[in-house]
A and B are shown apart, each in its own frame.
Chain A
Amino acid sequence: EVQLVESGGGLVQPGGSLRLSCAASGFTFSSYEMNWVRQAPGKGLEWVSYISSSGSTIYYADSVKGRFTISRDNAKNSLYLQMSSLRAEDTALYYCAKGDIAAAGIPFDYWGQGTLVTVSS
């Protein structure tokens, strides 16, 4: 069974930093793309970042480019999101999501339950 478990969320002051993690199990992590998606309270879904299976290809949404860094450790079956220069508008539930575009054409086939990031003074 595919499982994605996010952690690392919490309350942080504007301008601060936070590192999110996503622990993956139930599939061969090193073979699949991974993503971060966020959802502000009561709002819609916003894609944040993508990383290819090897980590060689990375994309970011314009809203986080230059402030957030996605990475992965295939030996540890883990995905990360380093967030810096945080703003109030970054407050959201952050989901990690597995992708399978290369083989099946499915962008996000499994999701975690999310970790909440609150940016406030």
Chain B
Amino acid sequence: DIQMTQSPSTLSASVGDRVTITCRASQSINTWLAWYQQKPGKAPKVLIYKASSLQSGVPSRFSGSGSGTEFTLTISSLQPDDFATYYCQQYNLYSFAFGQGTKLEIK
């Protein structure tokens, strides 16, 4: 099975900062990678799919990049609404494994 590893597990940042979260796959997944945002008590929301495609309605400060085994999610200028937990997910071969999550906290 493909394993997904996110780093860091926790990230402290301030409003206006540029932040990057990394996700690594244990084998190549081409660009079959999605990013989700989850706030406490709420269902996850898809931000990015196919590694770099922005889901409709998601602010353009979110962007994704990468292919193969290494991927990044970048938030160009943090807004108060962005403090949440972020998950990557691969959807390459017969499974849809998630990373362990990155909690983005206010510094």
Contacts and interface: CB of A to CB of B under 8 A. Distances in A.
B97 A47 contact: yes
B interface secondary structure, majority: loop
A45 B87 contact: yes
A31 interface: no
**Number of chain B interface residues as a range:** 20 to 34
B21 to A, nearest CB: 14
A107 B49 contact: yes
**Number of chain A interface residues as a range:** 20 to 34
A50 B91 CA distance: 11
A44 B96 contact: no
B50 A105 contact: yes
A108 B100 CA distance: 17
B46 A108 contact: yes
Contacts of A104: 49
Interface string A44-63: 11110010000000010110
Contacts of B89: 45, 47, 107-108
Interface of B: 1, 34, 36, 38, 43-46, 49-50, 53, 55, 87, 89, 91, 94-101
Interface of A: 35, 44-47, 50, 59, 61-62, 95, 101, 104-109, 111-114
Given A44-B98, A46-B98, 17 more contacts: A44-B99, A44-B101, A45-B38, A45-B87, A45-B89, A47-B97, A47-B98, A59-B94, A62-B1, A105-B49, A106-B46, A107-B34, A107-B96, A108-B36, A108-B46, A108-B89, A109-B46
